[in-house]
Structures are given as structure tokens and as C-alpha cells.
Copies of this chain bind each other. A is one copy, B any other.
Amino acid sequence: MPRSASSLPQAYDALRIVAASDLKAPAVGEALIEVAKIALRFLGGCQRTDLKCDIPGKDYFCFQQAPARSRPINSQLFDAELALQNIEQVFHKHPAQIRQDILQATLYTAAIAYCAVTDLTKTGDQKTPGTYFEIFVGHFVARVYGVNPKNRIQVLNLDLQSELPTDFIFDLGPDKARIHLPIKTSTRERVIQVWAHQRVLDGVYGMGRFRGVLVCLAETNAKPDFGVTEVCLPNQWAIYQMFIAQMHRVYYLDVPLKYAELGKQFPFIPVIRLSNSC
């Protein structure tokens, strides 16, 4: 029998509260570590089932707690033991001081653990995994930059003045490009919003003032027959990159195969592992 996940909602609520007041604060790191530990211990008691995977070079499994199944989890990246050993240093040290393979596996494992437990224990909850992942990545980036993001910007245009709600915007100081950082567990058809917001920022503040960096978890899709596939629309991304705006980088914790190819051909969208950013 899996251990209870009953303390997870409490730990998640505590995380949200500290994150709302100061995202870059060490307390947020501690709260993220706590959530990851509870989630990983719970998953340690759940049944693992291998999935049929048609993606070359990748293997996936899911956790099960009948009748629920978790989202697909990358077998090469998920390592609960390694993550439990290294989660502290990931949120305490500068990421450049951590071995890249350890950083990669720990980030992936800790990020997907909360999502997987939610899949198993709460029906139809798509909101808290998204918020958790946003805090997870937002804190990771804010701590490295030493600055908290904003999520709305002033739009001034002659006699018009208004505010636009945005994804995270990091101001790194004068004469540096600001970072426009949308964070999504997966993109699907909503991703055109990312390029459209970048276009608005380019239009209002001038080209190059905001560097667009999209961070995602994965693009896997579970099929009812225990199969798994990656849902990718690389041609559409290329069209958005050519005709809406230029995204500077796309980071994934689990890089989809077809998006990795986008860095090698026009219009050259670099899609790489988040751990390679450090």
C-alpha cells in the first residue's frame, strides 16, 4: 500500500503562500524540497507499469493506484533515490556547481513527482500541477538571477495607458535584455499565445528588449492502451517563429524529439534541456 499523500495539499498550500510573497526567497526552495520529498515517498509505494512507447530512444512508465494512472514518466530521467539525495543541493547551490546529469534528473524527477501524485489522487485537477511547475521553475530562475519577476507590464502609447498581464518578466538591470519567461507543463494548441505575447512586448518596447524563453516539462500524451506518444507541431512553431515573433530559447525538462530538431534548420529555434542552460 502506498503511504498517504494527505500532507501534500498542506505542503502545496504552504509553498504557494511563501512563493506569492517572495519567489526567489530560500523559504520557497525549502517548501519545494518538502513537496518533492512527500510526493516521491508517496510514489515509492505505488505500482509502476511500463508503457508502450513509439518514441525512438525513449522509455516511459506510469504510476498506478487503481483506477487512477499518472501521466507518462521518462524512465531514463526519473530517479527517486538520486533526486532525494540531491534535491537540497539543487535548491541551495548555484546550478553551475552541480553535475549536469544529476541536475537534469533531479529537476525532472522533483518536477514531475507532484504532478504524478496529483494525477493519482485528485480527479480533474489540472490547475495545481501547472501552478506548482510555474513556482518550481520561477524560483529556480529567480534565485539564479537574484531578482523576482513581475507578471504585468505597463503599455504606454500616446494617450492610451493600460496594463497587460504577462507571464513572468525578469528585469536584469539597465542595458540588459529583460527575460520573458512563460512556463508550461505542456504546450499543445495554446502555445501560439507565447509568440503573440512576445510580439506585443517587441511592439511596445522595441525588438530585442525582451528575450523570450519558454520553459516546459514535457509533451507526452498517454493513450488508453498504456501507450505513450509525444504531441509535437514543429511546422507550426516554425511558422510562429517566422511570422509572429522570435523566441530566443525553449527549455524542456524532457525534450521532445521533434522539437530538438528545430534548432538545426531554419528558422532555428533552440530547444534544449533546462539543465544545459546553467
* Residues of chain A whose beta carbon lies under 8 Å from any beta carbon of chain B: 155, 157, 159-160, 162-165, 190, 192-193, 195-197, 199-200, 203-204, 235-236, 238-240, 242-244, 266
Q: Are B235 and A163 in contact (CB under 8 A)?
A: yes
Q: Are A239 and B192 in contact (CB under 8 A)?
A: no
- A212 to nearest B CB, angstroms? 14
Q: Are A240 and B200 in contact (CB under 8 A)?
A: yes
10 A-B pairs within 8 Å (CB atoms) are namely A157-B242, A159-B266, A160-B238, A164-B236, A190-B190, A192-B196, A192-B197, A195-B196, A200-B243, A203-B242
Kindly state the separation between the CA atoms of A235 and B156 in the bound complex, as whole angstroms.
Answer: 12
Kindly state the separation between the CA atoms of A164 and B155 in the bound complex, as whole angstroms.
Answer: 31
Interface centre among A163, A195, A243 (most CB of B within 10 A): A243
Q: Are B162 and A244 in contact (CB under 8 A)?
A: no
Contacts of A243 in B (CB 8 A): 199-200, 203-204
- A7 to nearest B CB, angstroms? 30
Contacts of A155 in B (CB 8 A): 239
